[in-house]
Amino acid sequence: MHSNIAGSVALMEVMRVQQPMPTLVYASSSSVYGLSRDFPFSEADRADRPASLYAATKRSLELLAHSYFNIYKMSVTGEGCLSVCAGERCLALSSTLASNLRGRGGGGGGTKY
């Protein structure tokens, strides 16, 4: 829990004073949807019922990132990386992440503030 929350805040605090301010890209998780029975998950789904401490820390990071965007205009992208990844799906995920890091967007990947 400490590294997911305190470590993320420490990183964002260092980033916010840099000129130019770097972009934060972090790994989110479908676990933020917790007890949702809807599948596949959508960014519009509720994410306020975590089923584990891990899920609560990942959701906390999403909320903190949104706050850093609102307060400091920090560019933040949360990538919903999958736990299970094989073959072409891994290549597609890597391509989407690389596109987002270059600022082009990958179509369907992550929440960007």
The yes-or-no answer on residue 33 being catalytic is no
Percent of the chain clearing pLDDT 90 (strictly above): 34
**What are the residue ranges spanned by the domains of the chain?**
2-112
- State the SS3 of the chain: CHHHHHHHHHHHHHHHCCCCCCCEEEECCHHHHCCCCCCCCCCCCCCCCCCCHHHHHHHHHHHHHHHHHHHHCCCEEEECCCCCCCCHHHHHHHHHHHHHHCCCCCCCCCEEC
The pLDDT of residue 49:
83
> What is the CATH topology of the domain spanning 2-112?
Rossmann fold (3.40.50)
The pLDDT of residue 98:
63
Name the pTM for this structure. Answer: 0.69
Q: Identify the band that residue 60 occupies on the pLDDT scale cut at 50, 70 and 90.
A: very high
Which of the residues 54, 68, 72, 113 is marked catalytic?
54
